[in-house]
A and B are shown apart, each in its own frame.
Chain A
Amino acid sequence: MTAVLEVGPAPTVQVVRWSRAASATVAGFVVLVAVAAAVPMLFVPLVGNRLTALLALVVLAVTWNALAGYAGLVSVGQQGFFGLGAYAVLALSDLGLNAYLSVPLAGVVCALAALPSSLLLFRLRAGQFAIGTWVLAEVFRLLVSRVPQLGAGTGRSLTSTTDVDPALRQAFTYWTALAMTVLVLVGAFLLLRSRVGIRLQAVRDDENAARSLGVGVTGEKRLVFVLGSGGAGVAGAITLTNSLTAQPDNMFGVQWAALMIFMVVIGGIGTFEGPIIGAVLLFAVQQLFDGFGNWYLVGLGVLAVVATLAAPRGVWGELAHRRGWTAAPLFHDVRWPALPLAPGAAARHDAADTTVREEGRR
Chain B
Amino acid sequence: MTASLAGPDVAPALSVRGVRHAYGAVPVLQGVDLDVRSGEVVGVVGPNGAGKTTLVDVLTGAVTLQEGRVVLGGDDVSRVRGAVRTRHGLARTHQVPRPFTGMTVFENVLVGATAGGVDRATGYDRAARALVATRMTALANRPAGALGLLDRKRLELARALALQPRVLLLDEVAGGLTDAETDDLVDLVGTLSGQGLAVVWIEHLVHVLVRAATRLVCLAEGTVIADGPPDEVIASPRVQQAYYGGPGS
Those of A185-222 within 8 Å (CB) of chain B: 195, 198-199, 201-202, 204-206, 208-217
Stretch in B23-31, B44-52, B163-171, B207-215 with 4+ CB within 8 Å of A: B163-171
A96 within 8 A of partner (CB): no
Give the shortest distance, in Å, between A233 (CB) and chain B (any CB).
28
- Interface, chain B (partner A; CB < 8 A): 1-2, 60, 62, 82-84, 86-87, 89, 91-92, 94, 98-104, 106-108, 110-112, 114-116, 120-133, 137-142, 159-166, 188, 191-192, 195-197
Let me know if A5 and B100 touch, CB within 8 A.
no
Let me know if A216 and B141 touch, CB within 8 A.
no
Instruction: List, sorted by A's number, 17 A–B pairs whose CB atoms are closer than 8 Å.
Output: A1-B1, A3-B1, A4-B1, A4-B165, A4-B166, A5-B126, A5-B161, A7-B192, A11-B131, A211-B82, A211-B83, A212-B92, A334-B140, A341-B138, A345-B138, A346-B141, A358-B120
A360 within 8 A of partner (CB): yes
Let me know if B104 and A332 touch, CB within 8 A.
yes
Enumerate chain B residues within 8 angstroms of A359, measured Cβ to Cβ: 121
Cα of A12 to Cα of B165 in the assembled complex, Å:
22
Enumerate chain A residues within 8 angstroms of B2, measured Cβ to Cβ: 3
Let me know if A215 and B195 touch, CB within 8 A.
no
Residue total for A at the interface (Cβ-Cβ under 8 A): 50
Give the shortest distance, in Å, between B165 (CB) and chain A (any CB).
7
Known: A1-B164, A1-B166, A8-B132. A214 touches B103 (CB 8 A): no
Known: A195-B123, A202-B100, A205-B100. A214 touches B86 (CB 8 A): yes
Let me know if B129 and A198 touch, CB within 8 A.
no
> Which residue of B has the minimal Cβ distance to A13?
B128
Let me know if A347 and B141 touch, CB within 8 A.
yes
Enumerate chain B residues within 8 angstroms of A334, measured Cβ to Cβ: 104, 106, 140-141
A2 within 8 A of partner (CB): yes
Q: Can you list, as one digit per residue, whether each of A69-98 has a CB less than 8 Å from chain B (1) or not (0)?
A: 000000000000000000000000000000
Give the shortest distance, in Å, between B240 (CB) and chain A (any CB).
35
Cα of A341 to Cα of B126 in the assembled complex, Å:
20
Q: Can you list, as one digit per residue, whether each of A1-45 has a CB less than 8 Å from chain B (1) or not (0)?
A: 111111110111101000000000000000000000000000000
Enumerate chain A residues within 8 angstroms of B195, measured Cβ to Cβ: 3-7
Enumerate chain B residues within 8 angstroms of A205, measured Cβ to Cβ: 99-103
A270 within 8 A of partner (CB): yes
A339 within 8 A of partner (CB): yes
- Interface, chain A (partner B; CB < 8 A): 1-8, 10-13, 15, 195, 198-199, 201-202, 204-206, 208-217, 270, 331-334, 336, 339, 341-342, 344-348, 358-362
Enumerate chain B residues within 8 angstroms of A3, measured Cβ to Cβ: 1-2, 195-196
- What are the 8 A-B residue pairs with the smallest beta carbon separation, nearest first? A214-B115, A342-B138, A214-B86, A205-B100, A360-B124, A209-B98, A334-B140, A13-B128
> Which residue of A has the minimal Cβ distance to B198?
A4
Looking at B82, B121, B137, B196, which has the most chain A CB atoms within 10 Å of its CB? B137
Looking at A208, A214, A360, which has the most chain B CB atoms within 10 Å of its CB? A214
Enumerate chain A residues within 8 angstroms of B104, measured Cβ to Cβ: 331-332, 334
Give the shortest distance, in Å, between B101 (CB) and chain A (any CB).
6
